[in-house]
Homo-oligomer: A and B are copies of this chain.
Amino acid sequence: MIRFDNDYVEGAHERILKRIVETNEEQTPGYGLDEYCEKARTYIKKACDVENADIHFLVGGTQTNSTTIASVLRPHQGVVAASTGHIAVHETGAIEATGHKVLTLPSDDGKIKAEQVKELYDAHWNDDVHEHTVQPGMVYISHPTENGTTYSKSELEELSKVCRECGLPLFMDGARLGYGLASKDGDLSLADIARLCDVFYIGGTKIGALFGEALVIINDDLKKDFRYLIKQKGGLLAKGRLLGIQFESLFEDGLYYEISRHAVEMAMMIREAFVKKGVSLRYDSKTNQQFPILPNDVLMKLGEKYSFSFWEKDDATHSVVRFCTSWATKREHVEMLIEDIKELESESVNDMLT
């Protein structure tokens, strides 16, 4: 079985493992106060072209999202997000467990628009009894989104502008940030993101690390006492240096970008194979996740050799599925998949397959 079902099926980039092994016997202070973390922070600040960011390393995405959001909001405030956002659908109510509502905006492709935020904000404040409703307190976006789509620089600029006008801190979930930066269509750099967001994180778990997310807090108002929050929410790793070592490896000389580009290149090859075959794609993704709509019998067949994940039913005989590549995806596996895509035939179904 060759796995394309998600982007965390393998371990870590070999350089990271090597460094963990090499430093294993060193004695360091705990909880992220070691020099590896410090070096990683320096590299990341440079990559973001900022001098004063606070950078914290957490273990996973759900933890990073709920800790950050709980730190920013007051009890009566909620976080605005796409209806498809990870915090809205796939974190078992982690945000609500910290007391806050996720205020969802309808979205088909995973993105939200500046106008939507403005409308929600205005609707709240124009409501005579606004104190009977949850006050929007910040905005969450994911980039790339859960659907593989990305924000363009102008889209993020508009969103950022509206958020600042409304006094709503903008938080970007970058679980797959590298894959967004590597997208051919994309025109957003890390420095742009640091300039336009108040807080965001650079995902490691899905991009080369064993685990770990680097949270970058740009807005001074959001920095205070953040380490308390990490500890309280269970995210302060005792051997914090493990996170430092990983992000140091990823950012000291561009490894993060390099391996991200590989994943996207592999994904684009798969995309092209489906397109050539006449298969429709549910979302126009230029990143590491691809969402073909395929006849169910074809999926049965493909599923004997490859794993991928079921996304949603399309109609009685078709489903949307997700193929993920990652930094670790082997080119020969992709080539094998492409050959198999070429050969696909739908027997039982009258279909779009050429």
Contacts and interface: CB of A to CB of B under 8 A. Distances in A.
A237 B92 contact: no
A51 interface: no
Contacts of A20: 11, 17, 210
Interface stretch (A94-102, A158-166, A283-291, A314-322): A94-102
Contacts of A310: 128
A205 interface: yes
Given A3-B27, A27-B10, A228-B76, A242 B211 contact: yes
A90 B231 CA distance: 9
A133 B89 contact: yes
Given A92-B132, A234-B234, A25 B328 contact: yes
Interface in A125-159: 128-129, 131-135
Contacts of A30: 6, 8-9
A24 interface: yes
Contact of A97 (B29, B92, B128, B233): B233
Chain A contact residues, majority secondary structure: loop
Contacts of A94: 231-234
Contacts of A135: 225, 228
24 contacts: A8-B239, A9-B27, A10-B25, A11-B20, A11-B24, A11-B239, A11-B242, A59-B60, A61-B238, A62-B232, A62-B234, A76-B225, A76-B228, A90-B132, A92-B133, A94-B234, A96-B99, A97-B98, A97-B233, A101-B102, A131-B231, A211-B239, A233-B233, A234-B235
Interface of A: 1-3, 5-6, 8-12, 14, 17, 20-21, 23-31, 59-64, 66-67, 70-71, 74-76, 78, 89-94, 96-102, 128-129, 131-135, 205-206, 210-211, 225, 227-229, 231-239, 242, 309-310, 328
Given A21-B21, A97-B232, A131-B228, 9 more contacts: A1-B27, A2-B27, A6-B30, A11-B24, A17-B24, A59-B59, A89-B133, A93-B99, A96-B100
